[in-house]
Chain A
Amino acid sequence: MRPQLRALTFQREKPREKILEIDRVHKIFNGNGSFLPVLEGISFQAASGELICFLGRSGCGKSTLLKIVAGFIPPSSGKIFLRNKPVEGPGPERCVIFQEDALFPWLTVQENIAFGLKGRGQDKKSKAAEVERFLGLVGLTEFRNYLPREISGGMKQRVALARVLILKPEVLLMDEPFASLDAQSREEMQNLLLSLWQELAHTILFVTHDVSEAVILADRILLMGKNPGRIREEIRVDLPRPRSRDSGAFLQFSRRLHEALRD
């Protein structure tokens, strides 16, 4: 990792102020006359700076939940509050990292990262400095002039991270963002995410079906079950950070989760 970040990779004091509240959210999909309940009675709160993983098998509605929090689709009932204000529609205070490539293919790495800043009342110089800073934070300074099609999947997700982090979102919503990467890039991206998180202290909701990913990242894991999707169990991950992927405690924790996921 970059040196200026390494120093920050310890356990840190986190403010525990409530930032996000999901209150009894239900979602029913209505497809040609039949009603399919996808989410049932989802309630939880996220503290500021907390990293929460939603762990569940495919079809448990975890992506749907994320889309509802993002404001892309409305819940059938229930409410979402960000700092006690109800959420309606998408907005830059709740940014999403998609699983698929969602970069603008006609913009370079640098232009993609600068995209969200346009139209914000901020002078050109400070915008350019911000872009520079985030290019550096995700390690893409040398690739600034490349187009998305010219860089790897891992690099694309770095750009995706930088282009939303630059907007200073309060909550980062990540929908299996590293699922399509090879094992090594996935690990790199997890480390990068952790160091960015330590530095910038966002609240993160992270959806995954990968047990070890949840254990390496999360403060708290919400285990989801399906038919209909619901929160089955809440597991606090009290392993000290930085966490090692081959420590006994880590493996034990992962094994326990695997079993819980199977039931």
Chain B
Amino acid sequence: MRFLPGIIPALFLLVWIMVSATGLIPTYLLPHPLEIAETGYAYILGQSGEGPYAGRFLSDAGASLFRVGCGFAAAVAVGLPLGILSGRLLVIHRLMSTTVNALRAVPGITWLPLAMVWFGIGMKTTVFLVALAAFFPVYLNAAAGARQVNPLLLQAGAMMGVRRLRGTFAILLPGAMPHLVTGLRLGLGISWAYLVLGELTGVPNGLGAVIMDARMLGRIDMIVVGILVIAVIGRLSDQLLQGSMKFCFKSARRIT
């Protein structure tokens, strides 16, 4: 069972190696895995100056993580409390739902031109796009979670003399926890997608920027490295999110 998650990537790699060995696909379309590995090694561990991308990993990943972090944090700071409120209070739900659902129907990429006019190229535009995209899953799942908390649990709390504030933290949030975690995970996932979108617009650093830059220089090996790096960091950040939720909250540990 332990090696089960590795099977699909291993098969994929195997097929790739075999296809490369036949020479049916030219290397400018699909480089050999070894070439990818070399580029990746240089990108992550090399000294800067050895090649166009050597040693850039840390600064790119740092810049991207910072952008994702800011955007995602903003989305959570607004989306989570607002979602909980809208799940519990009909007034807030009525106030929000039409607007939220209309905005949600707009593809995130549509905001890019406007964001570039408003915020220019770079950090602010990227953070704006990330925050906007991550808001919806966080908000909607928090609302659904707060709405479906078993009313019996809230009644039980009330009869045991629990007041509103403690009830919110001791009953409502733990009761909604599975949905909250789902919302956060979806939000973080989509944050990475919009990060790349924001960085494609010509910022100097960042994982999305590297990919765009590599495309213009025809360095397909570097594009693939960028994709792999984002896949790995995205997966790690998801695990980190889940892990820290479980570390911080009993309810995340026990009922999700």
Q: For A92, give its contact among B152, B161, B174, B250 (CB under 8 Å).
A: B161
Asked if A102 and B250 make an inter-chain contact with CB atoms under 8 angstroms apart, the answer reads: no
Bound complex: CA of A144 vs CA of B226, how far in Å? 51
- Whether A81 is near chain B, meaning CB under 8 Å from some CB there, is no
Q: Which of B161, B174, B254 contacts A91 (CB 8 A)?
A: B161
Query: Is B227's beta carbon under 8 Å from chain A?
Result: no
A-contact 0/1 string along B92-130, CB 8 Å cutoff: 000000000000000000000000000000000000000
Taken together as a complex, chains A and B put the C-alpha atoms of A94 and B159 apart, in Å, by 7
List A residues 25-41 near B (Cβ within 8 Å).
Answer: none
- Residues in chain B near residue A115, CB distance under 8 A: 160, 170
Interface size on B, residues (CB 8 A): 21
Check if A106 sits within 8 Å of B177, measured CB to CB. Answer: yes
Q: Is B84 an interface residue (CB 8 A)?
A: no
Number of A-B contacts (CB under 8 A): 61
Q: Which of B159, B171, B250, B251 contacts A95 (CB 8 A)?
A: B159
Question: In the complex where A105-B255, A106-B251, A119-B166 touch, is A91 in contact with B159 (Cβ < 8 A)?
Answer: yes
Does A98 lie at the interface of the complex (its beta carbon under 8 Å from any beta carbon of B)? yes
> In this assembly, does B156 line the interface, its C-beta being within 8 Å of a C-beta of chain A?
yes
Given A98-B152, A147-B254, residue A104 in contact with residue B159 (CB < 8 A): no
CB contact under 8 A between A90 and B159, given known A106-B255, A147-B254: yes
A102 in contact with B160 (CB, 8 Å)? no
Question: Hey, which chain A residues are within 8 Å of B254, CB to CB?
Answer: 105-106, 147
Interface membership of B17, Cβ < 8 A: no
Query: Which one of A72, A105, A118, A167 lies within 8 Å of B155 (CB-CB)?
Result: A72
What B residues does A95 contact at CB under 8 A? Answer: 159-160
CB contact list, B144-202 vs A, under 8 A: 150, 152-153, 155-156, 158-162, 166, 170-171, 174-175, 177
Instruction: Mark out the residues of chain B between 59 and 94 whose CB falls within 8 Å of any chain A CB in the assembled complex.
Output: none
Interface of B is mostly: helix
Q: Report yes or no: B174 in contact with A167, Cβ–Cβ below 8 A.
A: no
Residue from A70, A89, A115, A147 whose CB has the most chain B CB atoms within 10 Å: A115
Given contacts A119-B166, A147-B254, contact A102 B161 (CB under 8 A): no
Contact residues in A for B155 (Cβ distance below 8 Å)? 72, 90, 96, 98, 102
Contact of A116 among B161, B174, B255 (CB under 8 A): B161
How many positions in chain A have a CB within 8 Å of any CB in the partner chain? 25
**Distance in Å: Cβ of B126 to nearest Cβ of chain A:** 37
What distance in Å separates the Cβ of A91 from its nearest Cβ neighbour in chain B?
6
Binary interface profile of B, 25-44, with partner A (CB < 8 Å = 1, else 0)? 00000000000000000000
Closest residue of B by beta carbon distance from A116? B160
Asked if B153 and A90 make an inter-chain contact with CB atoms under 8 angstroms apart, the answer reads no
Q: Quick check: B153 and A163 within 8 Å, CB to CB?
A: no
Q: Report B181 CB to chain A, min CB distance, Å.
A: 12
Judge whether B153 and A102 touch: CB under 8 Å. yes
Select from chain B the residue with minimum beta-carbon distance to A166. Answer: B160
Cβ A102 vs Cβ B152 within 8 A: yes
Closest beta carbon of chain A to B177's beta carbon, Å: 7
Least CB distance from A205 to B in Å reads: 14
Q: What chain B residues lie within 8 Å of A118 (beta carbons)?
A: 166, 170
12 A-B pairs within 8 Å (CB atoms) are namely: A72-B155, A91-B159, A92-B161, A96-B159, A98-B156, A102-B150, A104-B174, A106-B175, A116-B160, A118-B170, A119-B166, A164-B160
Known: A90-B159, A102-B153, A106-B175. 9 other contacts (CB 8 A): A72-B158, A89-B158, A90-B155, A91-B159, A91-B161, A102-B155, A104-B171, A116-B161, A118-B170
Closest 6 CB pairs of A and B: A106-B251, A116-B160, A92-B161, A102-B152, A90-B159, A90-B158
List the interface of chain A (C-beta within 8 A of B): 70-72, 89-92, 94-96, 98, 100, 102, 104-107, 115-116, 118-119, 147, 163-164, 167
Q: Which residues of B contact A (CB under 8 A)?
A: 150, 152-153, 155-156, 158-162, 166, 170-171, 174-175, 177, 250-251, 253-255
